[in-house]
Structure 1
Amino acid sequence: MAHYIARFMKDVLGENGHEAEICQRSVEIEASCLTDAAELAKAKFCETENVGDWLLHADRVHIADAEFPS
């Protein structure tokens, strides 16, 4: 199993009128592939945030390999 970090990102408009990308939550996931990691992360996010759809709190999810090369 590979180790992944999922970051749930949302675009918000600041008081200055400029848009900023904000990380709503980071989730660590172990999965066999990137696709499985994304689905597991979405389910974990919904459970943690107590929502039925992760898109209610985030615009996108970025999945990155958390393994560091030796």
Structure 2
Amino acid sequence: MPSFDVRFIKTVCDDTGGEHRACQAAFTVDAASLSAAAQKAETDFCRQKRVRDWTIFADVLELRTPPA
């Protein structure tokens, strides 16, 4: 089963108005497909943060296949 590196990213502004990407969580998910990995990552993230909607903490979910 393939593994995917997952990062939940939030874009935040600094005191000068510049935008920066802040990683809210990063972990590896084993799943059969990219869509299954995204779904599992969302579920795991919500469970860890004890929320129903991961978009409270992050703007985007990044999925990557780890380097060989």
Q: Which runs of 5+ in 1 are unaligned?
A: none
The list of structure 1 runs, each at least 4 consecutive aligned residues, that deviate by more than 3 angstroms after superposition, is none
Shift of 1:16: 2.1
- Which residue is equivalent to 1:2? 2
Q: Structure 2 CA distance, aligned partners of 1:24 and 1:41?
A: 13
- Which residue is equivalent to 2:51? 51
Q: Structure 2 CA distance, aligned partners of 1:28 and 1:38?
A: 11
- Which residue is equivalent to 1:24? 24
> Cα RMSD between the aligned structures?
0.9
| TM-score, scaled to structure 1 | 0.92
Q: Structure 2 CA distance, aligned partners of 1:36 and 1:67?
A: 19
Q: Which runs of 5+ in 2 are unaligned?
A: none
Identity %: 31
